[in-house]
């Protein structure tokens, strides 16, 4: 029996060590299955938009925040759209200053108009997002409908302003600047279009 005691102690020591080495889940950490359900919800929701691939790629990273909540999905999509619009406005502002010293006054004018359009789009998306964040669960159907109508109007206006940006380039000679701006605008519009789709879907629910 004496020869078995050290072996018993060694076994107990190893068991204790393995217990303490086991990872302890963080408090409030979402269950893996919950994350999977959120990912599936985002994928399915994105399938209803005009640009499902770019929708899923841009929103799936926020699965923990979105979960399976249509309001959160719309707000996150709007936030992503706002970030893209801000980045586009900054880009156009930068190259428009360079174009002021160029030989094509039409390109310069088109860039300045584009910057104005995207500035308006940024304001409209920001206003829409602010209105969405002020929606309360206790709001009546009539109040909800009115507030969501404002959100839809502003998001639609933002998409129109982004689209208008490229109108001024119709009379501009083809070149790298025109191509680059139009391509970037087309991509930014996709994010806004997807966000508007989620806003419209959420508004159709009729209640928060």
Mean pLDDT, contiguous 10-residue spans, the chain (208 residues): 48 46 38 74 97 97 95 97 97 82 78 94 97 74 86 97 92 89 96 98 84
Query: Domain-by-domain residue ranges, the chain?
Result: 78-208
Spatial CA neighbour of 131 closest among 144, 117, 118: 144
- Cα–Cα distance measured from residue 188 to residue 81, given in angstroms and rounded to the nearest whole number: 7
Residue 96 burial by Cβ neighbours in a 10 Å radius (0-12, 13-18, 19+): buried
> What is the structure's pLDDT at 175?
87
Instruction: Tell me which residue has tokens 């959100």.
Output: 151
CA distances from 31 to 5, 28, 67, 68, 127 (A): 42, 9, 11, 14, 34
Output the pTM of the full model: 0.80
Distance (Å, rounded) from C-alpha 89 to C-alpha 83? 10
| Domain at 78-208, CATH from 3.40.50.300, 1.10.3080.10, 3.30.565.10, 1.20.140.40 | 1.20.140.40
Question: Cα angle vertex 127, ends 125, 130, to 5°?
Answer: 110
Q: Is the CB of residue 114 less than 8 Å from the CB of residue 92?
A: yes
Task: Give the 3-state secondary structure percentages of the chain, helix then strand then coil, rounded to 5.
Answer: 80, 0, 20
């Amino acid at each position: 029996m004496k020869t078995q005691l050290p072996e018993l102690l060694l076994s107990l020591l190893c068991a204790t060590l393995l217990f303490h080495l086991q990872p302890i889940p963080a408090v409030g950490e979402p269950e893996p299955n919950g994350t999977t359900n959120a990912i599936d919800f985002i994928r399915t929701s994105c399938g209803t938009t005009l640009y499902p691939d770019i929708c899923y790629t841009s929103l799936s990273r926020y699965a923990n925040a979105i979960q399976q909540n249509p309001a959160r999905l719309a707000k996150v999509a709007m936030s992503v759209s706002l970030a893209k619009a801000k980045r586009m406005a900054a880009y156009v502002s930068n190259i428009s200053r360079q174009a002021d010293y160029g030989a094509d006054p039409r390109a310069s004018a088109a860039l300045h108009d584009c910057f104005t359009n995207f500035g308006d789009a940024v304001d409209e998306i920001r206003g829409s997002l602010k209105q969405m964040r002020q929606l309360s669960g206790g709001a009546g159907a009539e109040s909800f409908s009115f507030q969501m109508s404002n959100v839809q109007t502003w998001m639609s206006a933002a998409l129109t302003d982004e689209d208008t940006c490229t109108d001024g380039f119709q009379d501009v000679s083809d070149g790298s600047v025109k191509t680059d701006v139009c391509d970037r605008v087309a991509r930014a519009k996709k994010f806004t279009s997807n966000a508007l789709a989620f806003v419209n879907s959420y508004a159709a629910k009729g209640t928060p």
